[in-house]
Amino acid sequence: MALEVERDGDVLVARWCDGENRLNPASLDALESLCERVENETGPLALVVTGDAKFFSNGLDLDRFAAHPEELGPTAGRLQVLLGRLLVLPCYTVAAINGHAFAGGAMLTCGFDHRVMREDRGYWCLNEVEIGLPLSAQMGAAVLGRLPRATALEAMLTARRYGGAEALAAGIADEIAAEDRVLPASIERAAAVATKNRTIVTMHKRLAFAQVAASCGWDLDQHAR
């Protein structure tokens, strides 16, 4: 998996450059390593994750799992833990949603503290009711805990595709931007928070999401900073 990470001042910027950016064992390895890097760094820090071209992430790698069905269950379990881990990651996080975010990719954006979405193209969609892969109770709790309840239910029950303006109105995106401004706007937002008291930021994230993170399988006590 191609996950290119560079530092822009106090902001770690991770670019996911792997075509449709599907979730599979290799991509989860890379995303987990990114989280570990954040957890081990001290001092001012914020994180931005973005995709490439038309995709932020197109969800689980169903083609791979058709050939390797034994990997599907463990990969979905790892995604669940990653979502919990992101919710309480010890820094401010921003998803720069440059393009489509579907299914597991859309769910992944719910782990971030702030979401900037491209205003003119690209959809955010939880399409599990179309593809026949239900959210686990823990994944559902993460989505319901992050998004306005009415929006989360509509997304989960109807597989509605939200464009940028619709996502902003529904509370999925916190802001929208032109294609060439999605990443700069995300870095600017992250940089503005990176110098805040990171310990307090982390404590407040845990106040909000510790129970959901634990239900997803992320052990806060074991991984306390």
pTM of the model: 0.95
220, part of any domain: no
Task: Identify whether 10 is part of a domain.
Answer: yes
- Assigned domain for 145 exists: yes
Q: What is the CATH number of the domain that holds 77?
A: 3.90.226.10
Arithmetic mean of pLDDT, 147-167: 97
Task: Render pLDDT for 68-106 as a digit per residue (tens, 0 to 9).
Answer: 999 899 999 999 999 999 999 999 999 999 999 999 999
Number of separate domains in the chain: 1
The SS3 assignment for 210 reads helix
Q: Helix, strand, coil proportions of the chain in percent (round to 5)? A: 50, 20, 30
Residue 225, in any domain of the structure: no
User: Could you report the per-residue pLDDT of 102-131, keeping only the tens digit for each?
Assistant: 999 999 999 999 999 999 999 999 999 999
Q: What is the pLDDT of residue 219?
A: 82
| 84 domain residue, yes or no | yes
Q: Is the pLDDT of residue 223 over 90?
A: no
Structural domain contains residue 92: yes
Domain of residue 23, residue span: 3-215
Radius of gyration of the chain, Cα coordinates, nearest whole angstrom = 16
Q: Compute the half-sphere exposure of residue 114: CA atoms within 13 Å on the CB side of its CA.
A: 22
- Would 118 be classed as within a structural domain? yes
